[in-house]
Structure 1
């Protein structure tokens, strides 16, 4: 049970946590990452840390082979390239389905927050744009107190392992006719069926962002400054990454299993990886949900039956669709070749 608690605690924190590479028994979780492609600082203030003390003695119960596998897996996943927090947030907001939860200070119920599902689009600076009815409760709330927040989840959000962001700031009505026409065009591009934008009692609003809280999954959370958010660009691959993931999952799932077995340490062998579903593709690589053999608790002791891994593209950042195809074909071929060599050697 101690082994399970140890690896479960760390693995459930999904990729951003790590054991100390030189002394695994320390079991400390790092709360920062480099401000390069691997990700900007997780926290602008001292970061809270997860308590994993329950597993500190569990490493002593593992065999040396198990320790080596756990070590190799965690070090690899801790070092994989990521697009960085500002770009991650911009991408999540940009490619969302266009609906989110707005929280306001309730006029009708003073002292309580009001929550409304609202449609939104974003301008070139990533600022949310809205079309609100004058009769809506959130509209009357904003007119009294413009402070609000917008909670946006990844468009494929299914649970705590998926990304979400909370934008905080102030919303105000846009009255300049030239600005209104530009915003109308942006909003209709995101919501082509929004016929109410031309109603006389609907008005355009824009949110000025003052603070950002981001959760990219287990143990991948922190803040992004409004300036960094404004200066970041949405990841170009994530605009169509879902279509690539869907194609791979529907038609080439065995190739994905071969890739994670070949490129990620400690996963290959014994049919450990039973399913590998891509749930995100970005310029630096792919996030993949692994389903492992529930009977094999030896390879990575205590690992949850489903867990996310990060598989980077071998050539670095990619900026266009053709580059993604080339990278995946290359990785598929190399993985298949390695698999054939392994089988011949048996």
Structure 2
């Protein structure tokens, strides 16, 4: 007999018998105690930083955006929160943004479909954040926050330092120490030059592929299929696992290129899942991310999953991301 709400399923598949987050067993027992101590000691100054600040947030209706806004309103003394602007056209939106009294910009808008059309992901994840350029004209801007992903590191292995991505860098590039730059620069460039990312070329390639298939058939099944395949092919060439990872890496490159004197904070979480504690345990928006695997496992519909049992799952609760 199959008991989905009990401890075992057919004697093989353990389920969670109590209302706790699946990751709770992997967290240190002192997580809540240490958090309480940090609160008592004032933490690292995040709450104080946001006091009275005016914040502009993109992607406010998304999973991360909703959780972020709830946290800001509940736990900080922010001034005003401005959400994504809607206007008659792009020029009107930019003009309104220039006139806002904004201290902090948090950019969380993105398409997280891993292998969507190459032109769509380039437009949404790379070209869409034009606010990056506008923010340089904001006199009161104290911080620009960009929500990225840990997977911008591509196929690199080992210890990866949190260094900014440089324009042209690829996911296969061998990490070189500063002391070894002169000695290895020539050999490194020769082995990696064939797969250096050129953003202008990639946008041109996607647009040419689209135009060759007929501008009047943008939504055609075969056009969509070919552009999805193109994106995956380009990601594989440059050393990323899918088109989403590639375009998020491109966005970081653009940010690093045009940031100027604006302070930029890039956050790279892994796969974001339901909340551990706030706003309440287990909160999530819809059935997404790793949920299909977890649900299929819990219902006994997934008899096997190819993975290393000694490796921790690369997911993180949304309130810890």
Provide TM-score, normalisation by structure 2: 0.25
Larger relative strand fraction = 1
Larger relative helix fraction = 2
